Amino acid sequence: MNSHGKKMIAPVIIGILLFLYYAGVCILFLCVPVPPALKLLLGLIPLLLAGVSIYVMAERIKEIRSGEEDDLSQY
């Protein structure tokens, strides 16, 4: 495994764990007996956060592949 592959392991694992967590919270909120509008709101927020975590993971993988592993060195 090359150095880029090793650097991608942590973002992928964290991204998957965050997605599973937010998906589980979404399912939990959808199973709670509350009014439908509140159920939709409580279920939609974790689902959006799961989508954002997948997007951020994809951006981080793109940064690693392009060689921009350390953004702080630019400042």
* Phi, psi of 34, rounded to the nearest 5 degrees: -135, 170
Tell me how many domains the chain contains.
1
**7 domain residue, yes or no:** yes
The whole-number pLDDT of residue 1 equals 57
> Does residue 74 lie in a domain region?
no
Q: Which structural domain, as residue segments, surrounds residue 51?
A: 3-66
73 occurs within a structural domain: no
Any domain includes 21? yes
Assign 72 a pLDDT band (cuts: 50, 70, 90).
low
User: 52 in a domain, yes or no?
Assistant: yes
C-alpha separations of 59 from 11, 18, 42, 46, 63 in Å: 10, 15, 27, 20, 6
Using a cut of 0.75, tell me whether the model's pTM lies above it.
Answer: no
CA-nearest of 61, 58, 72, 70 to 4 is 61
Q: Which two tokens stand for residue 62?
A: 């793109």
